């Protein structure tokens, strides 16, 4: 995936996050996949998405431990 594709993916992802949440697990996986691709390309990461990834990860970890 090149930078332009990542930017488009990120834009669509932000629209999903700001709109109806839908399946939180699916959005979490899409956030993680997008951020991982950005990390691999050395791109700067949006702080708000990194925080959201961390929050959702902690939430799902807590659910799995219950």
Over residues 5-59, the pLDDT tens digits come to 887 887 777 777 666 656 778 888 888 988 999 899 998 998 888 998 999 899 8
Size of the chain, expressed as the number of residues it contains:
66
The full DSSP string for 20-53 is: ----HHHHHHHHHHHHHHHHHTTPPPPHHHHHHH
- Per the structure, the complete domain to which residue 25 belongs is given by 3-65
Report the phi/psi class of residue 46: left, alpha or beta, with left for phi > 0 and alpha for psi in -120 to 50. beta
In this prediction, residue 60 has a pLDDT band, given cuts at 50, 70 and 90, of: confident
pTM over 0.85: no
Phi, psi of 2 (to 5 degrees): -90, 175
Give the total number of structural domains in the chain: 1
Q: What does the pLDDT read at residue 52? A: 86
| Whole-number pLDDT of residue 25 | 83
Q: How many CB atoms lie within 10 A of CB 53?
A: 17
């Amino acid at each position: 995936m090149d930078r332009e594709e990542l930017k488009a993916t990120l834009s669509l992802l932000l629209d999903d996050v700001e709109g109806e949440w839908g399946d939180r697990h699916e959005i979490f996986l899409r956030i993680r996949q997008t951020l991982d691709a950005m990390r691999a390309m050395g791109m700067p990461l949006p702080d708000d998405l990194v925080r959201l990834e961390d929050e959702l990860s902690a939430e799902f970890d807590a659910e799995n431990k219950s």
